[in-house]
Structure 1
Amino acid sequence: MATVVVQQQTLRHSTPPPSPIPPALTVNRRPSPSRPASPVLTSDQPSSLLYPPDNFMRISQAPSPPIYAIDATTLAEAMDHMASQPLPDPALMFPWLHGLHPENQLQLGFFSCRKRALRRTPKCWRSITVVKLGGDLGKARLKGAVSASEVITPASRFFLADPPEGFSVRNFQIQTAKVAPVSDIVIYGEDGANKADLLDLAEQFAMAQHAWRLKIDPTQERPAYHTFVVTSPFSEIEKEHPELVAVDSGGQITGRVMDFCQWERLEMCSMSKASEISGNVWLGPTPDYMLRPGLPEPPQTTYDLLIEASDLASIPGPRLLAMIDKDLDHGPQRMDFPSSGSIVLPSGNTREVEDFVNTVRWIYYLAHPDGPADDADHEGDAAMASPCRKPRRVFIHCADGYTESSLLAIAYFMFAEGVPAHEAWLKLHCDKQRNFFAYPTDVAFLMHIQGRLLQESPAAQSLDLTDMWDPNWFLRMDGSFPSRILPYLYLGNLAHANNPDLLWELGIRRVLSIGEPVNWSHTDRVKFGQQNLMYIDNVQDNGIDPLCREFNRCLEFTGRGKNDGMATLVHCRVGVSRSASICIAEAMASKGLSFPRAYSFVRARRLNVIIQPHLRFVYELLQLEEFQLQQRNKPMKKELEWSTVAREIALLNKPYTRG
């Protein structure tokens, strides 16, 4: 899979008099304590219903740092209130959030933060970090919950999250540990959790908060952060406040809390859902029952033959095809075929080419048994479908519906429709509305065999193969089109942008360049019209340059294209950060999505390239979410908090990172 790899760093890893401690957390539930609506915070922190904690019952003994009890209803109110608090200005949070370890001279030097004053923890942040006892987040997980091992050491100290070496503006993996010390900590457990263990974990966090304050704020200029223990059983939270439960006590995702992995999967399935690309042949994602062992297979399948494209498969030979052909009379059959990118250009007319073409031809005659007679046995290589038999419904599939299956799908489309490779690319994308991803090796292989495919195609009998040529835009292409995010919005890289003939063929008439100008001829500029080209200067992917100042101008440009019925390509250099951020902003604006959902929407449609907006861009997009809610006269309420968003993005990207 073609991915963008970004290196990640690994984590190295006066109080009021106490009340008598109640017996093992047997705190009776009571109405939420009355608190001022907006506590006065001298450091311009967001307001919090947990500060000051004067009205909460203290359950720790002197001289231990204070620990307080909190019930489910009060926790729900506090988290709801926190979601309504605006994020601080990015200028106050960056570059601190990037991670500025005192010994990491590379990171410090880049951000010009050798002065200790510029590395100080901001005073404008206050959040809530929810920690689950035991750390098993696969069940009974509250919204945003983390394990204790993500944020504190066995010695009851907060991790120094900043990477001591290397450079990155995408340190999403450190954000949970980074903001935990400037958050109130809430400890909870599953039903039946040992209450002494809850108190013990709470004391560890209270000690970590105390030690952190002695080190960072010895003069106590900041408001203090405190530790709370949830006294309500988890079953009560599930019943009374289901909006807080991400994963229930049985380990099932509730759907009440946005889950990045789940939404990416839903968006991907929506984007690549099965559709008919040619008569009786469909293309789409592998059915869930085939991906998840244990799910029951539907009693009746829609297809007669399911062909799964796989990295481990070989091209089927004539004997296997004949056996499957015979078994089709007894019910639906399955077979494997090599995935895209796995077949290299052969040196001559090899057996591999023969088997490939024979398989494509065999599929065609399964789907069209009443097609033109084919009496020749093609050197005895393929068994044609039996005459006078009903057409078979064939499904070409892979896990995501577009990556591994693209090679076979394009080859089949060429044969079935009688078109050369470049037309197959365009027709599948534009006419059939399929998003697919092909590799440069696929382009080379299909161009090599297209003569054979078209020579034997019943639909290409009138095509003059001697006059066939490949257009310049196709020869300059690496196999992948820019990604169609919305009908009027494409996301791509600089190579896509510098192929104006390709853009024209795709119906793209406007180009928005973020930080990377196009290198076009005067003729191309006149053809598109200067009013349809926009260049956003002075925005580099460096973690410093803000993009938020350009949001309005960019969205107005894409909006004009939408209103005029013209598609816009948004690009930067690679198409993963700056331009991806603008496409996320457009999805948020046009579809009314929160940032997490718009991120998943764009990520799924960027196909095999992993979008990677850096920390500051993500932070600015979360602020854009707040602004758009105000524009729509809706209550300002973030769907997910900063640390949760960063943690989920880090988990999504972990399989594609080094380190």
Structure 2
Amino acid sequence: MAAVLARPPAITSRSSTPPPHHISLNTSTRGTPAAIPNKHIPVCPPGPIPARGLQTPPSSPPTKNNIIETTAVTYPPNLHCTQYSHDPPLWTIDAQKMAEAIEHTATQPLPNPEQVFPWLHGLHADNQIQLAFFTSRRKSVRKVPLCIRSVTLVKTGGDLTSSKLKGAISPEELLCPTKDSNTFIECDPKDGFSVRNFHIQACKLAMVSDIIVYGDDKTPLPDTVALAKRISKAQRQYEARNGLPRGLFNTFMLSDTFAHVQEAHPELVAVDAAGGMTGHVADFFYWERYEMSSMSKAAEISNNVYLGPTPDPTLDPNTTESDFDILIEASDLAHIPDSRCLTEWRNSIQSVQDGPMHIEFPSSGSIMPPTWSHSEVDGLLAMCKWIYDLANPHASDILKRRDSKEDEAIALDDIVRSRKFLIHCTDGYTETTMLALAYFMYAEGLSADQAWVQMHRDKGRNFFAYPSDVALLTQIQPRILQASPKFQGNIITMQAPKWMSRIDGSLPSRILPYMYLGNLGHANNPELLRELGITRILSVGESLSWTDEMKRDLDWPDENLMLIDRVQDNGVDPLWDDFGRCLKFIEDGKLEGGATLVHCRVGVSRSATICIAEVMNELGLSFPRAYCFVRARRLNVIIQPHLRFTYELLKWEEYQRLRRNEPLRRELEWATVSREIALMNKPYSR
């Protein structure tokens, strides 16, 4: 009888956004999206962090003086809105004007980075490290910039699992928790140094916003009025404390029902009244998983054997379990099957009538050197042979086994029918790597280094292996090759190439066919790069440690190396001015038929920023979608462009639209972008 095993639950059905409980920034389990397995946030060194009291900040570009004037449909409020109360000042706004205000904001250029940074980083008066790093040059940088203006929607009650409008936040993300308090949260961190304070941006932008308060159709009007009055009072306090003109930002109440908004302006509704995702508002959580599914889509690595993610029809309706006869899930909880188990599986295949057979095999990293046993290696090889025999049946061989009563249950009419396998895991490229590479070596008669390169380059598979997988497959490759059906009887003696001994299991991440994203270790392994077809290296802020002898031996022309110097991951040094020449360098490599490795130190911030800029340029994607495109393809680690780089990429989106003669219009605003990134990264935070 086939073993039918439990698998991770599929993502709930939706059109373009994830289930509603993945939207909230609440700290409960319900409000936190599940982390993608095997990804982590690496440490991104920002360069030298100043000691307390340091008076010399890091170098920064000269300030651009061209202030971008911002306008708003909601200012002055008396032009289009009705005043509800005078003390505190409170206005009402209908759904049509709210839609116009949101659309108008999306079509206004963002201020230049120099006008809003380092204010957006968060400059608390008691945080001496952050202040010393950013404010010594210009004492005015703690002042609220008058060039930025936004629209913030706040939902009464704070339940964002239903009736959620585009970009809406809960009152708890803006106001002090005390019910009688009429003060904005002090969101700037009091201690520590960080250039990735994405979690405070929704609050900071709300303080320089016209705020629209709304409730769902069950919310009592007095609750919405009380919340709006608290916010209006907080605005007056914020104005007085920061020397802002009185009435520069105002509080409004939505006069129409949510049902009316849903009918008249569906493009503004992210979650409907019933808690269903509408698909009208882009969602980072869903797009990351969509791009990951697209990147790791099941593909054939050897005859009748496929490698890919666990089938999820909500992400890829073209790939289902019914496409395969046998699904092998790589699992941390699985055990290596013995010969008896393999025989039972083979004999029970015919009893599966309602769908494919499900079995498990240990995941990558589960056979640990140097303590592995002969039985583990024997089991791995036996599994490879079992898969091969069923995927590549030969009648004469199977008949011999049946005549010897080894496989009495095999019927003659099933001997020549090949079985189609899917080796799968959640992300489609991590837990499966050990079994997939071992089988690829066995079925194709390849050494470990050949399998590594051909799986990636020729089969088009992105994969991540653990260092233990490298050690295991390198050491047992003679046994695999001798057992391989491609073995010709020659004595196998082999020496692994130098590049193989220098990899930790990971390859540079292929973002586009002609562009890879990696770290300094990848860049300093030029033999590996050559094997992958990488002919150019773009170093962003980190220099290669190649010797002249290495360059000469590798015949690597100087013009195929580019260094973007003096760019630290410090939230100050810009990359905007380098986008043009970086993308030109990458394009030249593409035209030559090669590929470019873009790297910094760890491959998650500076180099990731350049890769996102190229994806936006090449594929015409908005920043949110390009961000998720690159994030999904950066294997094993989470990309982490800091706040300023992220802001520069939103400005790059503006530039891209103007370059294509399209009207300026952002898909998502800065506050929403930052909030989504903070939400995506929360499961990985330590």
Under a length normalisation based on structure 1, what TM-score does the superposition of the two structures give? 0.89
Partner residue of 1:314?
335
The equivalent residue for 1:233 is 257
Identity %: 52
Alpha-carbon shift at residue 52 of structure 1 (Å): 0.4
1:523: how far off?
4.3
Find 1:178's aligned residue among 195, 204, 210. 204
On the 8 A contact 1:362/1:384 being kept in 2, the answer is no
Alpha carbons 2:331, 2:425 under 8 Å: kept: yes
- Tell me which residue corresponds to 2:193: 167
- Tell me how far apart the structure 1 counterparts of residues 407 and 669 of structure 2 sit (CA, whole Å): 60
535, 548, 553: which is aligned to 2:563? 535
Q: Give how far 1:606 is off.
A: 0.5
Residue 257 in structure 1 maps to residue 284 in structure 2: no
2:365 pairs with 1:341: yes
Contact 2:482–2:489 under 8 Å retained in 1:
no
Q: Compare 307-316 and 97-106 and name the one that shifted more.
A: 307-316
Partner of 1:358: 382
Q: Does 1:654 align with 2:677?
A: no
Matching residue of 1:187: 213
- The one-letter code matched in structure 1 to 2:168 is A
Distance 1:361 1:554, change over 3 A: same
AA partner of residue 611 (structure 2): C
Q: RMSD of aligned C-alpha atoms?
A: 2.4
Q: Which residue of 2 aligns with 1:480?
A: 506
**Structure 1 position 409 matched with structure 2 position 436:** yes
Q: What is the letter of the counterpart of residue 417 of structure 2?
A: K
| Equivalent of residue 328 in structure 1, options 349, 369, 376 | 349
Matched with 1:127 is 150
Q: Does 1:78 align with 2:84?
A: no
Distance 1:205 1:6, change over 3 A: farther
Shift of 1:115: 7.2
Give me the whole-angstrom Cα distance separating, in 2, the residues matched to 1:314 and 1:371.
30
CA gap 1:175/1:389 in 2 versus in 1, 3 angstroms:
same
Q: Aligned partners of 2:217 and 2:322: how far apart in 1?
A: 42
CA contact (8 A) 2:156 2:171 kept: yes
Give distance in 2, aligned partners of 1:320 and 1:190.
57
- Cα distance in 1 for residues equivalent to 2:200 and 2:150: 16
Match of 1:20 in 2: none
How far apart, CA to CA, are the structure 2 residues paired with 1:646 and 1:369?
54
Residue 118 of structure 2 corresponds to residue 95 of structure 1: yes
Q: 1:460 to 1:136 in 2, by over 3 A?
A: farther
2:73 is the counterpart of 1:49: yes
- d(CA) in 1 for partners of 2:623, 2:551: 34
Q: Using the alignment, how far apart are the partners of 2:421 and 2:396 within structure 1?
A: 19
Deviation track 1:599-657 (CA, whole Å, cap 9, x = no partner) reads 01100111211100000000001001101111111000111100100010111111111
2:490, 2:220 → 1: CA distance? 77
Structure 2 Cα separation of the partners of residues 97 and 530 of structure 1: 39
Q: Could you tell me how far 1:249 is from its partner in structure 2?
A: 2.0
Tell me how far apart the structure 2 counterparts of residues 398 and 547 of structure 1 sit (CA, whole Å).
37
Q: 1:383 to 1:124 in 2, by over 3 A?
A: farther
Does 2:293 match 1:274?
Answer: no
Q: Which runs of structure 2 are paired with 1:419-430 in the superposition (5 Å)?
A: 419-430=446-457
**Does the CA contact (< 8 Å) of 1:489 and 1:570 recur in 2?**
yes
536-545 vs 223-232, which deviates more? 223-232
Gaps of 5+ in 1: 8-42
Cross-structure match for 1:582: 610
Q: Distance in 2 between matches of 1:65 and 1:440?
A: 63
SS of the residue corresponding to residue 397 of structure 1 reads strand
- Quick check: 1:291–1:399 contact (8 Å CA) kept in 2? no
Distance 1:423 1:371 in 2: 31
Contact 1:5 1:656 in 2 (8 A): no
Partners of 2:331 and 2:373 in 1: how far apart? 24
Give the residue type in structure 2 aligned to 1:92: Q
Q: CA deviation at 1:522?
A: 2.4
2:59 matched residue in structure 1: none
Find the aligned partners of 1:372 and 1:649 in 2 and give their Cα distance. 58
Distance 1:549 1:95 in 2: 18
What's the offset of the Cα at 1:69? 1.1
8 Å Cα contact 2:423/2:432 also seen in 1? yes
| Contact map agreement 2:380 2:435 (CA 8 A) in 1 | no
State how far apart, in whole Å, the 2-side matches of 1:114 and 1:251 are: 49
**Deviation digits for residues 160-195 of structure 1, max 9, x if unmatched?**
111111111111011111121111101112223211
| 2:557 alignment partner AA | G
- 1:401-436 alpha-carbon deviations (Å, 9 max, x no partner): 111111111111011111011111111111110111
Shift of 1:56: 4.0
Aligned to 1:31: none
Q: Which residue of 2 is the match for residue 461 of structure 1?
A: 488
- 2:324 is aligned to 303
Aligned to 1:565: 593
C-alpha change, 1:99 and 1:459, in structure 2 (3 Å) is same
- Taking structure 1 as reference, are residues 385 and 51 closer, same or farther at Cα in structure 2, changes over 3 Å only? farther
CA contact (8 A) 1:418 1:459 kept: yes
Residues 567-610 of structure 1 deviation map (CA, whole Å, 9 limit, x = unaligned):
11111110000000000000000111111111011001112111
Q: Secondary structure at the match of 1:128?
A: strand
CA contact (8 A) 1:366 1:385 kept: no
8 Å CA contact 2:518, 2:597 repeated in 1: yes
Q: Answer yes or no: is the 8 Å Cα contact 2:135–2:142 preserved in 1.
A: no
1:472-512 per-residue CA deviation (whole Å, 9 max, x = no partner) reads 11111111110000010001000000011101110111111
CA contact (8 A) 2:173 2:203 kept: yes
